[in-house]
Amino acid sequence: MQIFSKQAFQEIDYKTLLIFSGLYLFFFVVTEIVHHYSRIKVEYTRKFIHIITGIIALFFPIFIKQPLDLLILCGSFAILLVCTIKYDLLKSVNRIDRKSRGSILYPVAVVTCYMFQYYRGTYIYFFIPILILALADPAAAIIGKKYPYGKYALKNLTKTVSGSTSFFIIALIISVVSLNLKLDMYIYDSLWIGLLIAASTTLGEAVSIKGYDNIVIPLCAIGSLLICGI
């Protein structure tokens, strides 16, 4: 079925879209309220939203059966996020001391991963990239700041060996466990594929600036899966 066919428009699942929209709006509002009254640093509220939105997104391929529905959902939130940036709203996510396009690129990454899993016919193309993005990326930022060992700079953006190492380890665990559970692979096969995914996504995170890691990381994971013939 074509994405923009008449049948696709007739089969839009408005109930599911409203449920997911409600979940996202709920966490955005709660995080904004907590940030406003507790003065928790934006870096932490932003990471919380990053994690929770990624975890919720893991259910998209299960409940959203056609690409058009996801395009409507992610497109709507992308527009919403652009408006919050323009009008200085959603301070718990947007008020950071650097330029970042991460929040806008996040919906793009979700749609990209969904399209690959939709046409490749395997959930692994969605699960691994999104889970690495949801867990490994914020963990690297938090650990890198708390234990800033081995600092290195890239275009005025400082990163750390400790942060990159934690990203690699988490990405490796996610990849190996996912490949074994979803594809029932031999541990040797899942290990070397997991190493490739972890290495490529870690490199992608290390060289990304201005929030582009939100699209680079998933693309590196997808590329690794394609190379391995999954």
Note whether 68 and 17 are within 8 A (CB): no
Note whether 98 and 51 are within 8 A (CB): no
Closest CA to 195 of 215, 175, 177, 165: 175
DSSP 37-74: HH---HHHHHHHHHHHHHHHHTTHHHH--SHHHHHHHH
pLDDT value at position 100?
67
Closest CA to 76 of 87, 88, 84, 66: 84
pLDDT value at position 167?
95
- Among left, alpha and beta (phi > 0; psi -120 to 50; other), residue 97 is alpha
Give every residue of the chain whose pLDDT is below 70, as ranges: 1, 96-98, 100, 102, 155-156
86-91 long-range contacts, Cβ below 8 Å, gap at least 24?
Answer: 90/28, 90/32, 91/32, 91/35, 91/36, 91/42
DSSP the chain: --TTSHHHHHT--HHHHHHHHHHHHHHHHHHHHHHHHH---HHHHHHHHHHHHHHHHTTHHHH--SHHHHHHHHHHHHHHHHHHHHTT--HHHH--SS---HHHHHHHHHHHHHHHHHHHT-THHHHHHHHIIIIIHHHHHHHHHHS--SEEEETTEEEEHHHHHHHHHHHHHHHHHHHHHHH---HHHHHHHHHHHHHHHHHHHHH--TTTHHHHHHHHHHHHHHHTT-
pLDDT value at position 93?
81
